[in-house]
Structure formats: structure tokens, C-alpha cells
Structure 1
Amino acid sequence: MRATLMYGPGDVRVEDVPDSTIKQPTDALVRITASCICGSDLHPYHSMDAAHGPARMGHELIGIVEDTGSAVTTLRKGDLVVAPFAISDNTCEFCRENLQTSCTHHEAGFWDGIPDEGGQAEAVRVPLADGTLVKLPVAPDSALMPSLLTLADVLGTGYHAAKMADVKPGNRVTVIGDGAVGLMAVLSAKRLGAEQIILMGRHQTRTALGREFGATDVVAARGEEGISQVRELTGGHGSHVVLEAVGHMPAYEQAIGVVRPGGVVSRVGVPQYEDAPIGFGSLFRHNIRLAGGPAPVRAYIDQLLPDILDGTIEPGKVFDATTDLDGIPAGYKDMDDRTSLKVLIKP
């Protein structure tokens, strides 16, 4: 079968690899029908140590079950399923608390920690299939497929940002970042009733989509100028909630600059730094809370799926390009160059 491998910074290749097969009784073998490139895939695209390559890529996928291990009880051949980006048994203590990203099962973890598997491929072995995979009540050729694919990561991640910040009706919310996750954070804040949603981004096609998803204002400026504009839009006090969907230190500093006293900064952009200021001069002085983390998207699928099925939300609009496996290396470059927002892959 064919799969995507990253050899080092900027070096993505689609190659023949051994077929994925059932290895454990709790596995399922899934033929992938839709996957995508994630903004977080661009972090190793910039900085991966070639000594750690080649690494199989992809952690968002929909597919059809082709085979199951002897211990799998909830799935059968032919089921259409979506796979969250974290593997979980969905039964342990933390999973029952909706923290599937902290599942205690020894096979749990993220897709990038599973050797020789990845979603940007023709097929994949899914560990802990009963807990990880969620059946979808549509046909594989459904027009809803792009939106359903967002359940694997970006929609659940944007929703997690808003949930961890406890967005409430009437809140003023600022979203930092106009990538796919930032736009999903806008959609989620709107869904939870935010009164004002300020999107900080400078790419007009993306911010236009942000407005469609519910942004009331757009601030293109960064740094002190951007902070000043947000504070002006919020009556001088800042936002009750800041959803940080970038992961770089300037975005965190911007978040601190626009959050209201007593407010919350919720981070879901994968942090590309180790030390963030949290002391008296940043968070402590004004009773600002820091929240966020890797999204347990498995916990949100049942909540968000009905809104996709009935057309209440259309998160699949974040996909602005589609390719087959051969086009994946170019898809990475396009996303890195910001000529594509998010690339859908149809093997």
C-alpha cells in the first residue's frame, strides 16, 4: 500500500510501504476514504530532526472497516468510521471523565506515536478500535464527508478551546489565529452563545470565512497595535475569553495582552515553546486563568455530529483544496505557503 512519510524539514514523500494488518485482538483494519493535512503537521515540516525519520504522517481520517481483531465487539466489516487523533479505550477512569487524551491503556496515545501507521495513506491499523472509532450514519460518498472529517481533530479542538474557557452567552471572545483550528474556535464560540467574537488574523479569505462562522470583528494587526485595537473594541477592558490557536510565543503574549481581568486564556495551538509567563506581571495580578490542552475530541463527537448531519454547522468549509495521495507533498507546501487553508485527501 501507499503512505506518506516525512524524512526531514520540507521533505515529504509518498511511498510504497508494507500493508497494514491486524496485530492485536483489539485492532481494526480501516481502508481510508478521506484524510487531510493538519496545521500541526507543519511543525515537523519546519523542524523535524532527519535522524528521527522517516515518520508516517496523518492523524485525521474517515474510512471503511475491512477487518477486526477477535476482541472487537462494536464494529464489523463495512462500517464507515471516523478516527479521532488520539487512541483511547474509552472505558478507563480518565476516558469516563472525557479525558481520552490521557487514557491509561498501554496502547493509547497519539497517532504520531504509533510506529508504521498514519492517516495519510491507503489504509491504517487502528488500535483499541472499540473505544477509538465512531460509526457514521451516512454513505461513504456523502456530501457531508468534509464536515464529518473535522470531527477527527479541528472541530473538536476548536470546541475544546471554547469549552475549557467556559464560553457563555454574552461573553466577549477573542480568537487568535485564522487557521482551521482558529476558525473552528470561532464557530464553537458562536455555538456556545458568545456575544462578540473578535478574530485576529490577516488572511482575508480566511477571515471572511471566520465572519461566516460567527466572527463579529476582525483585527489584522499584531503585537501592541493589535492588542490596542482589541481593547478598543471591548470597551478598554479586553475579552472575557481568549482562544489561542497558534502555539507560538507571540500569540501567547498577544493573548495576555487582550484578556480581561478575571478572564481566561485557553490554548489549543500546540505550544512551540517551553516557558510561558504566568507570574504577577502576566496572569497572577489580574486573576487570569490559563486553560486548554490537547483536545479529547472523542468526547465531543456525539455532541457535534447531530449539528453536522442536520446542517446547523458546516465546518467542512475549512477545506479549500482537495488532492489524491500523489498531491500530498505539494499540499504540505501549499499550506506552508498559506496558499491553502486545509487540504483534503481522497486516496
Structure 2
Amino acid sequence: MKFVDEAFIDIAAGDGGNGCVSFRHEKFKEFGGPDGGDGGRGGHVLAVADVNLNTLVDFRFSRRHEAKRGQHGMGSDMFGAAGQDVTLRMPVGTVISDAETGEVLFELLTPGETITIAKGGDGGFGNLRFKSSINRAPRQKTPGWPGERRSLKLELKVLADVGLLGMPNAGKSTLISAVSNARPRIADYPFTTLHPNLGVVRVGPEQSFVVADLPGLIEGASEGAGLGHLFLRHLQRTRLLLHVVDLAPFDEGVDPVAQAKAIVAELKKYDEGLYKKPRWLVLNKLDMIPAEEREARVADFVKRLRFKGPVFQISALTREGCEPLVQAVYQHVKAEQVAAQPPAEQDPRFTDPL
């Protein structure tokens, strides 16, 4: 199924039920008094983060979502029932924003998280509410309040610790299949990957991180060229970027350094914050380079690229060099997670009064 990471929907919460004007009519009760109940609350529209979903395709075919209105109030002190809520299940990582203004309203970041994206209207008051010592037979009531109505834009940004980026056919899919449980489509032609693939890399007992394989970028991707521009947003949540480079391209006229510089330029054009993220260089397909030429070719590449960060030499096909890469990535991700945690509150009983 085609990966869908953007959708537009219209939602409408239920209106509140109207209040009721009623008076008690019973034998032997000459002054029964008012007994009109309030209307019920309108149904809410809720969004739930479902870990089993990874696409917004359902909302492409079902754009209108309405909750039921609340029941009207009735006599005999009976209040109306609340309208039934509507629950929309969305993938974890969905960003919900206003379709007209672009303002971000909600983000679903935790599996099972539930938020109210449209609140149902409150029910109106029945005449029972208006009874007082000076108004013993009130005939007032109020209508129910209207529910919220919104036009929303849904945008999915996958939640991954590490993102793989690079030109088409750089070996990203082979790498993620070699180090994780993901099994993406792999072929000997460009643009094999048509949608993001997430894989869990197991380092040890209760030690793992999530890596995302995205469609390959080409020059001009930030302006809409190729497939990668549709998925650059998914890199914004990652803690680390692995720039995978094909060090042994099939075409002799292709310069890997020029390709690497083009990818970095596209990141900077698309998002300055994305460009400043930690980025490591992963030189792939060393198995296709004679052993006596590897050191010189790697040194020449790094020198011409003027890259200052960590550099890893691997062969995703034979898994050579993958284990040191995985261990280093895990240590980096773990350090980032610890740094992002808020400091623990100190018990005031043990603080220094001075």
C-alpha cells in the first residue's frame, strides 16, 4: 500500500442538547413546580495514538467525522444523555495542525495517548435550573451550545532515534536490513525504497534504538525533485543522522564527493535545524574496492569533503564494520536520551538551608 504521511480532514463535535420546560403534574399536588431537565453534552472528537498504524491513508478516503449531539432534556427531572464520542486512531508521531492557519494544535508522541481535538457543546439549562424563591414557575430554558468544528491537517513524522540519508542506491536499505529487524525491498536500481522503513536495532538485553530508512535524496529534493522531499520531515525527530555514501558507484563518471555535498546542501535548504543535527559519515560498499586501495580512497574522500565528524567504513552486504557502527550509535543515542531527561527534584528535607 502506498505510504501516506499527509491528509486533510473536517471534524465536528456534537452540539449540546436543549433544556426542557416542564412542570410536574401529579394528583393531589396542586403546585408541582418545574421539573424540566438539562440537555446532554455533545460528543467529543478524540484522537488516539495507535502504535499499530504507520500511515494516514484511512483519512484520505474518510474526510468528514462528526460526533453525535446530546439528547434534549425531559420532564420529571430527567437530564439528556451525552452524545457518543468519535475516536480517530492515528499513528504515533502524527502532528495535528489547523488547515487554514497552519498552527500546530496537537502532537501524538506517546503510544496510547488520547487527546480531545474537538470539544462537544455543553447542554442547555432546563427550567428546573431557574427555580428560585421569587420565580417559582420559571418558563425559561436555554439551547445547547454548538460543538467545535475544525478543518485539520494531519502530518506524520516518524519517531526514530536514527535516520539514514543518502543518494538513491547508496545501500541504505541493505544497511537497515543488516543491523535491524526491518526487511525493506532491495534491488539493484535506484528509488527502490518508496516509503520510510522503521527497524529496531537490538544491541543487548533491553538495549535498542529505532532507525529509519528513507527514500533516497537527489539534488533539488528540497524544491520537490525526486521522492525524498516528501520524507525529509521524518528526519526532524531523529537524534542522529547517518549519511550513507556509495564509495564505489557503478558509473565511473559519478563523483561520490559531489553527491555527498549535494545531500548536505539539500538539508540546509530544507531546514537549518536539520542541517545542524549530529551527522556521521558512513562509507558503504567497501567490499567492491580492492583491499589495497581502501585506505587511500577513504582518506581522499574525507579530505575532499572536509568532513570533521565521525567516519565509519562498512560493507552492508557482508556486514563488515557494522557492529562498531551499531555500538557507537547506541552510545550516542543513550547519551542524548539521558541529557534530554529533566533533572530529578531534590527532596526538600535534605536541602541545605544555607
Q: Shared topology, TM-score over 0.5?
A: no
Q: Which has the larger radius of gyration?
A: 2
TM-score by length of 1: 0.27
Of structures 1 and 2, the one with the larger relative CO (CA 8 A, separation 6+) is: 1
Give the number of the structure whose residues are more often helix, by fraction: 1
TM-score (norm 2): 0.27
